[in-house]
Amino acid sequence: MLTSLLFSAILTTPAVDYSGNVLLRKSPAKGAVIFLEGYGKPKPVEEIIEQKNRKFIPRILVVPVGSKVSFPNRDTVYHNVFAEYNAKKFDLGMYPKGESRSQVFDKPGIVSILCNIHSDMSAYIVVVDSAAYALANDKGNFVLNNVEPGTYKMQIWHESGAKLAQPVTVSASNSKGSFAIKKK
């Protein structure tokens, strides 16, 4: 039995953190969403997009399928949250400071969030069917944590309309990448 345990330990390749950088026209792609398509079984989360100073904060959010997002109004004025999301429309109605409404996102896709009272308010929610996802920081850097070695289809999306889909191989010796995205 000890031999089989040692043999299985030798064959088991540990998960790695896959990190990288995303560029858009030779500049850091701040807010780019990176995910491995269909990786693992994602666990829904609960997140918040605040309405504050007549802005949605954060402006870009990435969540796995089945996640619930709350939209608390922290402003002194009324707001309305609405979207058309993969042909599914929702409208949370108008509500004052101190109230919060929420929505569950049950299928993958890009959700453009708007306020019908303040036309300059907008945000994006990227709903992914993946347990490996990240949002690029101000320098375009990202980390996908605990990825099992293998070859996957990496998807990158940016609010400018730039995107990329390409195979990526993750291993202990290949745990970093650099990607350039552009509009098509």
At 117, list the tokens.
């009272």
pLDDT at residue 5 above 50? no
**Which of residues 86, 110, 129 is at a domain's end?**
129
Instruction: Please state, in angstroms and rounded to a whole number, the distance separating the CA atoms of residues 143 and 134.
Output: 6
pLDDT at residue 79 above 70? yes
Instruction: Work out how many domains the chain is built from and give that number.
Output: 2
Vertex 61: Cα angle to 106 and 37 (nearest 5) = 60
Q: How high is the pLDDT of residue 9?
A: 47
At 118, list the tokens.
């303040």
Instruction: Look up the CATH number of the domain holding residue 78.
Output: 2.60.40.420
Looking at the fold, whether 33 and 110 belong to one and the same domain comes out as: no
How do beta strands 109-114 and 122-128 pair?
A: antiparallel
Q: How confident is the model at residue 84 (pLDDT cuts 50, 70, 90)?
A: confident
Residues 6 or more apart in contact with residue 131 via CB below 8 angstroms? 39, 40, 41, 42, 43, 64
- pLDDT, mean of residues 93-107: 95
For 132-144, write each residue's pLDDT tens digit: 999 999 999 999 9
Looking at the fold, whether 94 and 52 belong to one and the same domain comes out as: yes
User: pTM for the full model?
Assistant: 0.89
Phi, psi of 29 (to 5 degrees): -90, 70
Q: Which domain holds residue 116?
A: 41-129
Instruction: Please state, in angstroms and rounded to a whole number, the distance separating the CA atoms of residues 42 and 130.
Output: 5
Q: How confident is the model at residue 89 (pLDDT cuts 50, 70, 90)?
A: confident
**Which of residues 113, 129, 145 is at a domain's end?**
129
For 104-134, write each residue's pLDDT tens digit: 999 999 999 999 889 899 999 999 999 999 9
Q: Which residue has the higher pLDDT, 133 or 7?
A: 133
pLDDT at residue 10 above 70? no
For 52-71, write each residue's pLDDT tens digit: 999 999 999 999 999 999 99
For 146-182, write each residue's pLDDT tens digit: 999 999 999 999 999 999 999 999 999 989 999 999 9
